[in-house]
Amino acid sequence: MLWILIAFFLLLLAGVIILLPFFRPPALAEPDGAVDHKLLSLYIRRDQLYQAIREAKFDLDTGKLSPEDYERQVARLKRQAASVLRAIDKREASLVSPEWDEQIEAQVRTARSGRTARRPAVVTTVSAKAGRARYCPQCGARLEAEDRFCPACGARVA
C-alpha cells in the first residue's frame, strides 16, 4: 500500500514537473527574457522542503523517526515552507504587478488622451461659433468656420 502511494506521488511529481513550464505565466520571466533567479531559488527551496516532509514521513513509517521527532521535524519544515510560500507570493506579485500597472496605466493614458483630445475640439468649435461668426453674403445663413460653401444656398464663401 505504501509503495502504491509512493509510486503515485512520483507519478504526480513527474507530471507536475513536465506540465509546470506550460502553466507558468510568462510574466515570471523578466522583461528581457531572463529567468528570475530569486524566484527560481525560492521554488527550489519550497520543493526541497516538500521533499524533506515526504522523507520525514518515510522515516516515520520505516521506524527511523519516533512519532515525537517526526511531529517536531514536520512542524518545523511546514513553518519554513509557509514562509517560503509567502516569499514566493510576494516575489510573484512584484514581478507580475509592474507589467499589470503598466498595462493599466497605458489604458488610463489612452482613455485620458481620448478625453483631452475631444475636449479641446469641442472648445474650439464653440469659440469659433461665438467669436468669429460668419454669415453667407448671398442668403445671410450662419456659416461654420470651416465652411467653404454655404450650407443653406450653396454659394461659395471666402
**Least distance to Zn ion, CB of residue 129, Å:** 17
- Least gap, CB of 144 to Zn ion (angstroms): 12
Q: Which is nearer to Zn ion, 87 or 141 (CB)?
A: 141
Judged by the rule CB under 5 A, the positions of this chain that interact with Zn ion are: 136, 138-139, 141, 150, 152-153, 155
Q: d(Cα 15, Cα 57) in Å, to the nearest integer?
A: 22
Q: For residues 35 and 139, which CB has a smaller minimum distance to Zn ion in the complex?
A: 139
Contact 43, 112 (CB under 8 A): no
| C-beta closer to Zn ion: residue 84 or 150 | 150
C-alpha–C-alpha distance, residues 144 and 124, integer Å: 12
Minimum Å gap between C-beta 128 and Zn ion is 18
In whole angstroms, give the CA distance from residue 19 to residue 13. Answer: 10
- Judged on CB neighbours under 10 Å (0-12, 13-18, 19+), 82 is exposed
| CA dihedral over 78, 84, 87, 89, signed as positive or negative | negative
Smallest gap from residue 158 Cβ to Zn ion (A): 13
Specify the residue, 42 or 150, whose C-beta has the smaller distance to Zn ion. Answer: 150
